[in-house]
Amino acid sequence: MAKKPVTFILNGSERATFAEEGLNLLEFLRRGIGDLSPKYGCGQGTCGACTVIIDGETHLSCLTMAVTIEGRKVETASGLANGKVHPLQEAFMEHFAAQCGYCTPGMLMSAKVLLDRNPAPTRADVIEAISGNLCRCTGYEPIIDAILATANMRRLA
Amino acid sequence: MAMHRGRGFASINYPIGMNLGGDPSQALVHSNPDGKFTVALSSIDLGQGMKSVTRQIAAETLGIPVADVYVDTADSDTGPHCMGSFASRGTHRVGNAVIQAAQEARAVMLEAAAEELEVDATDLVTDGRGNIHVKGASSRSITTMAACQAAQFKQGRTVSGRGIFLIPLSEVDPETGEMTPVSCFAHAAMLVEVEVDDETGEVSVLDMQSAYEVGRALNPRLVEQQLVGGAWMGMSHALWETTEPYYPDRSHGPVDFNNYLMPGPGDLAPHHISVLERPAPDGPFGGKGPGEMCANPVLPAVANAVYDAVGVRIDELPITPEKVLRGIRANGGARPKMRLTRTQFTGAR
Amino acid sequence: MIEFRKEFFANERDDNLNEIGKPTRRQDILGHVTGRSPYFDDHLFEGLLHIRCVRSPHHHARIRRIDVSAAEKMPGVVRVLLGKDVPLNLNTLLSLLDFGLDDEPVLSTTKVAYKGEPVAAIIAESEAQARAAVLAVKVDWEVLPHVLDVEDAVKPGAPVVCDVYPSNKFIYHGKFDHQKLRYGDVEDAFARADHIVEGRYQMSPIEQAPMETCGAIAAPEVNDRFVCFTSTQGLFFSLGTAAKLLTMPSSRLHFVGGTVGGGFGGKVDSMHEPLAILGAMLTGRPCKYAWDREEEMQVGAPRGAERWYIKDGIARDGRILARKFTGYFDSGAYTRLSSYAIIKGVGHLPGPYTIPNVYADVFCVYTNRTPATAMRGFGITGVDFAIEAHMDKGAEMAGLNPIDFRILNSYRDGDMKAHRRLAKNCALVECCQVVAEKGGVVLTQASRAATSLLDGGGERARLPSRTATDQNGIVSGFKGGNYAKKGGGASAPQPVALPIAASAPTPAYPSPASVRPAAPTYQPAATPPPAPQPPAPAADTARHGALRFSSLSGFRRR
């Protein structure tokens, strides 16, 4: 497969490199760039472990072609903490919203987009936002609690 | 054309550790020059919190703050043998090994402190905040850091310890099945309320009321993680999951999460958990392992609740809408049993 | 919505501890929320190769020929592995514990016994190239009749799934084709019972479905060793298995893991490390072997299906007088861990209830499906579903509230259990009481007054005066020498049971944190078993060198 040049912004930093035309964004980020935070859970777009943010929207990186991020802004969980821990991360820690941690990077991406768009979500809003992120360990309750708590904290701030 | 509610009950116990024993785990605990301790293991954290619970166990045993302990696992070059994380054995076996190793390390640390303070080690206590002092005379004290420094650079002591926990392997009698399976059991009881739609056969879990006896909740939040997540998996197991929907026929086996069904965040049931603690005589601080038994009572409780709601006994899991409808039709309609009606409201806890 | 009912068993606990009991944040949580926790695949390598397997599309088939010539020439293919490339191509997982006979190849050469069984492995520069080359491998299959139902599989004349066990049943103690539990005389008790309840229960196989699939990456390490990053749940278990299959000293293997994206029992089988390391050995490059999600679901070992038949004899007052089990564990095409599950299950019967007559025959059955393995509640979940669904029927027949029925029959401290050891540290009664209270279920006076601590022992501590035993299912031609071997001699050993001193109501651990906690000890309930029989001369073709966990107790024999 031919390699195409790709220039994009990853977690606030400009990157320029090459990507094979058939390569998916998940593999590109993990092995091409070395950002290991998005995870492989199914490669079929059904689990959400690979969720990243592109231009402010969630995308399943296992089903996104790497070359399509040309000129776009990409965010992953490893970029959430910008010098200090992001409120969502703090809330996840406080509420014990992760056990094995494998779904957590993708889950945080979905939560971030929700809160960026809707600073006062209802429980139903949260449930809908994370319905594409499967978790096998927690039973979801602490994750919902953590996201609602983050929203509450921000409103009080 | 109606929704029927019903409640079902189940109670279980669960054997802790590998059946018959013979499953050792080891731990090594040692201090760096500054009195910060590493617990070296080859045990596995699957998410159940192995690293976290052993950290607390080590800190408690050493008598130092948890921030001064780090659990390092798993590397076969540096971590001593552990059988593995399964059979609810982790907290029980590894925890005990960590206690033994930490006790040895603590003893050296206290000897070192005793030598510095010119007292008997038996007169010393730790305050759990990084200090060692004479019992009843807290001004005669030395920091754990200073004691460890003195031990290693002045006195020539290794502030370290080794631990192993092994329950001897039991035999099994071929004719009678006599055996010593495990040394302790966890317990659980579960009351589940469901709602069954007699037109679609769908079952929704409305509420779970449970009691789990776990020996000791070494970290109440980690225990809660297991019980909430495990009960969710139990619900999933009862109503949703199968790799062979037409078992023993293998056709239509799911190959992705579109077909392998599990409840999502919109399908959750409120779960009211009560934790009881009857310490296991041989558990680390009495702890047993809640990791597996958390799911078990949900499966039969749901099946029994479906029977209570519509009078259909479904003895084959998962309980699918198809099975519910077939049962209702065979009975000539829904036949609620209402055997566990709430006859007194005890108030929310 | 969690509460801690500290008032129960308070006098057996000292709650005045320093770090224990605190809701301390997890050590690994910061790594999880920053995406830095290092799972096996979170390691970067130059020149990483990818392994994908050629798998059987048939439930059961003989392999006439495997033609890899076209695959070998495909772009990116570095090496193709067949069974002959595996130094020791036959294993059973529990051979590390001297339990069972080697029955499963790494890459099959003569026949396949389940759909998805691997027969070749392609090692290529990219995953896509490996997948393409898999499709180019031509296998000439001779399809064989298959059997998928456990009760069909144990009938005479059924297709033989696993040649090591021609009756499609694992052989226990070299003696019987099932594990027995015999305690008292159930048939006698059934005749006396007022109610008989019978049931049949079936569990489906289910997936562990961790969010991280199983896998390993192996690479040549400095100084003639191999490093293997793995998702295993048992680091040394997998290391030992790899050392055995690759006939390599364990000292040359360096396994790294410990951070796993969920396991639930599905990451014990050690399928990935041996092939990944073999690839690294033969190519000199890092090799990754991991399942995709489809493989994780249909090739990866599920919780095995179980079928249970239960018959209860219940007295008029609701006491269960006798319980009889027949259980079939569907082990699939190979043993893996299922042989152990049966023993664990048998040790668990009849559930947390004091029943004076218990009988069980539990079979580990081979069928032509994906081999089963451990899953959360291994050996217990299935039978507990059956028991508790059955208890509900018993309650209804006896006319008792389901919770009263449980408490009435619940075990208490000091009761004799069906595996002939005394119960201790019980808490079932209290759990039932708490749930009844929370759920607004009114219990009888007797149920509300019951306690695990006082109502047991005495008469209930006695072994039955007579136990009906039998030699049903006896086989010949198999050696003993399994782990947990006992007997094998002509006469049934006499059961021994030592009364356990009733636990004194003192705290299990001393107060102030400054005093060292008592060293953990375990007092085995039984006296040492009778002197082990001398071992049968071992015509032991299935055992080979490498690491063993054996000789932990003097009772093991080869």
**What's the pLDDT at C486?**
56
Q: What is the average pLDDT value for chain C, to the nearest integer?
A: 88
C-chain CB neighbours of B224 within 8 Å are 2
**What's the pLDDT at B152?**
96
C-chain CB neighbours of A94 within 8 Å are 25
Q: Is A1 in contact with A20 (CB distance < 8 Å)?
A: yes
Same domain (yes/no): A61, A25: yes
**What's the pLDDT at C482?**
57
CA distance C232 to C268: 6
Q: Is B47 in contact with B90 (CB distance < 8 Å)?
A: no
**What's the pLDDT at B4?**
97
Q: Which of A95-104, C66-75, C94-103 has the lowest mean pLDDT?
A: C94-103
Token pair 């035309």 is found at A21
CA distance B286 to C13: 8
Beta carbons of C36 and A80 less than 8 Å apart:
no
Query: Is A139 in the B-facing interface, judged by CB distances under 8 Å?
Result: yes
Task: Give how far C551 is from chain B: nearest CA, Å.
Answer: 10
Residue B304, both tokens: 């029994």
Same domain (yes/no): A72, A91: no
pLDDT digits (tens, 9 = 90+) for A51-69: 999 999 999 999 999 999 9
Beta carbons of C293 and A47 less than 8 Å apart:
yes
Task: Give how far B255 is from chain C: nearest CA, Å.
Answer: 5
Same domain (yes/no): A50, A114: no
Last residue of a domain, one of A47, A79, A111: A79
Last residue of a domain, one of A53, A79, A105: A79
CA distance B265 to B267: 5
**What's the pLDDT at A83?**
87
Query: Is A100 in the B-facing interface, judged by CB distances under 8 Å?
Result: yes
**What's the pLDDT at C44?**
95
Beta carbons of A96 and C35 less than 8 Å apart:
no
Beta carbons of A78 and C35 less than 8 Å apart:
yes
Q: Is C557 in contact with C481 (CB distance < 8 Å)?
A: yes
Query: Which residues of C fall below an 8 Å CB-CB distance to A?
Result: 25-26, 28-39, 41-42, 44, 48, 128, 209-213, 260-262, 264, 292-294
Give the number of other CB atoms < 10 A from CB of residue C180: 24
Per-residue pLDDT of chain B (349 residues; tens, 9 = 90+): 799 999 999 999 999 999 999 999 999 999 999 999 999 999 999 999 999 999 999 999 999 999 999 999 999 999 999 999 999 999 999 999 999 999 999 999 999 999 999 999 999 999 999 999 999 998 999 999 999 999 999 999 999 999 999 999 999 999 999 999 999 999 999 999 999 999 999 999 999 999 999 999 999 999 999 999 999 999 999 999 999 999 999 999 999 999 999 999 999 999 999 999 999 999 999 999 899 999 999 999 999 999 999 999 999 999 999 999 999 999 999 999 988 877 644 333 3
Q: What is the average pLDDT value for chain A, to the nearest integer?
A: 96
Percentage of chain C surpassing pLDDT 90?
Answer: 84
Architecture of domain B3-16+183-330: 2-Layer Sandwich (3.30)
Percentage of chain C surpassing pLDDT 70?
Answer: 86
Instruction: Judge if ipTM > 0.90.
Output: yes
Task: Give how far B292 is from chain C: nearest CA, Å.
Answer: 5
**What's the pLDDT at C483?**
52
CATH at A91: 1.10.150.120
Tell me: pLDDT of C434 over 50.
Answer: yes
What is the total count of domains within chain A?
2
Beta carbons of B257 and A99 less than 8 Å apart:
no
| Sign of the C-alpha dihedral computed for residues C336, B19, C530 and C558 taken in this order | positive
CATH 3.30.365.10 residue window(s) in chain B? 3-16+183-330, 25-165
Residue C235, both tokens: 């680091």
**What's the pLDDT at C541?**
38
Average confidence (pLDDT) over C488-495: 32
Beta carbons of A39 and C44 less than 8 Å apart:
no
Same domain (yes/no): A64, A118: no
Average confidence (pLDDT) over C16-33: 96
Residue C236, both tokens: 């040394």
DSSP C73: T
pLDDT digits (tens, 9 = 90+) for C105-123: 999 999 999 999 999 999 9
- Out of C2, C182, C442, closest to residue B177 by CB: C182
B-chain CB neighbours of A103 within 8 Å are none
CA distance B263 to A135: 10
Q: Where are the alpha helices (DSSP H) in chain B?
A: 50-62, 95-117, 144-149, 220-239, 298-310, 321-330
Segment (H or E) for A1:
none
Q: DSSP for C221-243, please give it.
A: ETTTEEEEEE--S-HHHHHHHHH
Average confidence (pLDDT) over C123-134: 97
Same domain (yes/no): A128, A104: yes
CATH at A59: 3.10.20.30
Tell me: pLDDT of C549 over 70.
Answer: no
Which of A139, C437, C453, C411 minimizes the C-alpha distance to B211? C437
Give the number of other CB atoms < 10 A from CB of residue A123: 13
B-chain CB neighbours of C298 within 8 Å are 243, 253-255
pLDDT band for position C478 (cuts 50, 70, 90): confident
DSSP C1: -
Query: Is A83 in the C-facing interface, judged by CB distances under 8 Å?
Result: no
Same domain (yes/no): A48, A109: no
Query: Is A114 in the B-facing interface, judged by CB distances under 8 Å?
Result: no
CA distance C547 to C270: 15
> Which tops the pLDDT comparison, C514 or B97?
B97
Same domain (yes/no): A73, A91: no
B-chain CB neighbours of C22 within 8 Å are 56, 66, 219-220
Task: Give how far A5 is from chain B: nearest CA, Å.
Answer: 33
Select from B23, B76, B91, B133 the residue whose CB has the most chain C CBs within 10 Å, as the one to mutate to test that interface: B76
Q: Which CATH class name applies to B25-165? A: alpha beta
Taking CA atoms, B316 is separated from B141, B298, B322, C39, in Å, by: 65, 14, 12, 36
Beta carbons of A100 and C262 less than 8 Å apart:
yes
A-chain CB neighbours of C131 within 8 Å are none
Alpha-carbon Rg for chain B in angstroms: 26
Cis peptide bond N-terminal to C507, omega within 30: no
Query: Is A122 in the B-facing interface, judged by CB distances under 8 Å?
Result: no
**What's the pLDDT at B343?**
67
Distance from the Cα of residue B142 to its chain's centroid: 37
Beta carbons of B250 and C438 less than 8 Å apart:
no
**What's the pLDDT at A107?**
98
* Binding partners of A (≥3 Cβ pairs within 8 A): B, C
Same domain (yes/no): A48, A67: yes
- Out of B221, B266, B271, closest to residue A96 by CB: B221
Q: Which domain holds residue A147?
A: 87-156
Beta carbons of B231 and A142 less than 8 Å apart:
no
Segment (H or E) for C402:
helix C402-409
Cis peptide bond N-terminal to A19, omega within 30: no
Last residue of a domain, one of A63, A79, A95: A79
A-chain CB neighbours of B265 within 8 Å are 126-127, 130-131, 140, 143-144
Kindly list the structural domains of chain C, giving each domain's residue range(s) and its CATH number in brackets, ordered by start.
42-144+209-298 (3.90.1170.50), 150-203+304-461 (3.30.365.10)
Beta carbons of A41 and C211 less than 8 Å apart:
yes
pLDDT digits (tens, 9 = 90+) for C29-50: 999 999 999 999 999 999 999 9
Task: Give how far C294 is from chain A: nearest CA, Å.
Answer: 8
Query: Is A120 in the C-facing interface, judged by CB distances under 8 Å?
Result: no
**What's the pLDDT at C314?**
98
Task: Give how far A58 is from chain B: nearest CA, Å.
Answer: 18
Same domain (yes/no): A67, A121: no
A46: nearest CA partner in chain C? C293
| Sign of the C-alpha dihedral computed for residues B79, B80, B86 and B89 taken in this order | negative
**What's the pLDDT at C210?**
98
Note which residues in 419-478 of chain C have CB less than 8 A from chain B: 419-421, 424-428, 430-432, 434-442, 452, 467, 469
**What's the pLDDT at C455?**
86
